[in-house]
Homo-oligomer: A and B are copies of this chain.
Amino acid sequence: MSTTGRGLHGRVLDTLGPAITAGEYPPGSVLRTDELAQRFDVSRSVMREAVRVLESMHLVASRRRVGVTVRPKAEWNVYDPQVIRWRLAGADRPHQLRSLTVLRSAIEPVAAGLAAKFASAEQCAELTECAIGMVANSRGHKLEDYLVHDVAFHRVILAASGNEMFARLGDVVAEVLAGRTHHEVMFEDPDPAAVTLHVQVAEAVREGDAVRAEALTREITVGALQELDILAP
C-alpha cells in the first residue's frame, strides 16, 4: 500500500520515519542534516524537506547550532496516518494496535448513535449491503472477503455520523481490522455473535434508533477489546 510516495525525500522518509518511530534513536538523539544527506546519498535540499516533514509530525525538532533532535514519544503527532502506518509496520505494532482499539471503543459507539440520526437513505442501504456481505462470507474461511465488507461497514458508520473527525478515522479502523486479519491470530471464521451484532446495528441505524445503535456497537468494540485481552474482569 501507499507509502510516502514519489520524490526522493519520500524515499528518505520511508526509512527514517520507521526508524524514528521504532525508537531506534532515543529521545534527545542528535542528527545532522549534512550527515544524513550523505548517508542517504541525497542533496541537502532534499534532506531538508524530509526533516521539515518529520518536524511537522513533531517527531524531531530542528535547532540551529545543535542539529535535528529526536523528540520524546509523548510529543509525536500520533494521529498522523503516516506515523500510525510506520508504527504499525514496526516493533511498536502491538502497542499501537492496542491504543487504536481503545480509541475505536470510544469513538465507534458514539459515531453509530449519530449515524442513526443522520445517515442518508443511501448510507443505510450501503450499511445493509455490507452487513449482508459479512453474513455471506462469515463461514468457510472467506476471511478476505469478510474483511472487505467489515471495513466498508465501519467506514460507512463513521462517515454517516456526520462528524468529519470521526469520518477521518475510517483509514485507521481499516488498518486495525486488516491487521487483525492478516497479522494476528485469525485462523477460524469470525465470531457469529459479532456478525449478528453488525446486522443488528444496520437495523438500528435504519430505524433511527440511536440508543440501540450505540449500545450494539459498544458490544462490538468490547469484543475487539477482549480479543486483545484489554479489559478488567
Contacts and interface: CB of A to CB of B under 8 A. Distances in A.
Contacts of A52: 9, 49, 52-53
Interface size class of chain A, counting residues whose CB lies under 8 Å from the partner chain: 35 or more
A57 B77 CA distance: 11
Nearest to A79: B79
A45 interface: yes
Interface stretch (A28-36, A101-109, A187-195): A101-109
Contacts of A45: 45, 48
A74 interface: yes
Contacts of A106: 106-107, 109-111, 166
A167 interface: yes
Contacts of A49: 48-49, 52
Contacts of A163: 99, 102-103
A136 interface: no
A164 B56 contact: no
19 contacts: A48-B49, A52-B52, A52-B53, A56-B80, A74-B164, A77-B79, A77-B80, A77-B81, A79-B79, A79-B165, A80-B80, A99-B165, A102-B166, A103-B163, A103-B166, A105-B110, A106-B107, A106-B110, A107-B107
A230 to B, nearest CB: 10
A105 B106 CA distance: 9
A79 B232 CA distance: 30
A100 interface: yes
A110 to B, nearest CB: 4
